[in-house]
Amino acid sequence: MTSPAPGITAVDIEKWFQLHIASLTGLPPEEVSGAADFESFGIDSVQGVDMLVALENWLAMPDDIPMELLFEAPSIAEAASRVADCKARAARS
């Protein structure tokens, strides 16, 4: 994964999730729908926490994304939006 551009958006994060889940599941990225939730891809907790850590590293915000923010989101797109908000808050503080 490349480093994020400063103006990273929820759309970029959603794309990151799709690529990450595609690499975990072997599905083509276009089949990882942003409308689906993480659970529907059968990702277990260890894969989930690894995904979180990889995302935090990509966004250069270690320890700063609460895991439940991903898992309680009704869809990947919504999770991406919440992560973008989280990043914006972290940038302001």
Partner 1 sequence: MTAAPAIEAGGSAAAIRHHYDVGNDFYSAWLDPTMAYSCAMWDGLPDDAPLEEAQHRKLRYHSESIGAAPGMRVLDVGCGWGAQMRTLIDDFGVSSCTGLTLSEEQAAFVRANNGPEIAVESTNWHEYSPAMPFDGIVSIGAFEHFAHPEQSQEERRALYRRFFESCLSWTEGRGRLSLQTIAYGSIDAGKANPFITTDIFPAAELPTLEDIVVASQGLYRIVRLRDDAQDYARTCELWAKRLRQAAARGEAGGDAELIDRYYRYLRLSAAGFSMRRIVLLRLRFDPIPRTTRPPR
Q: How many CA atoms lie within 13 A of 2 on its CB side?
A: 6
Least distance (Å) from partner 1 to the CB of residue 67?
4
CB atoms within 10 A of CB 7: 6
| Nearest CB to partner 1, comparing residues 9 and 53 | 53
| Nearest CB to partner 1, comparing residues 31 and 72 | 72
List interacting residues with partner 1 (CB under 8 A). 38-39, 42-46, 48-50, 52-53, 62-63, 66-68, 71-72
Reduce the DSSP state of residue 26 to 3 states and report it: coil
Least distance (Å) from partner 1 to the CB of residue 48?
4
Distance CA 59, CA 57 (A): 5
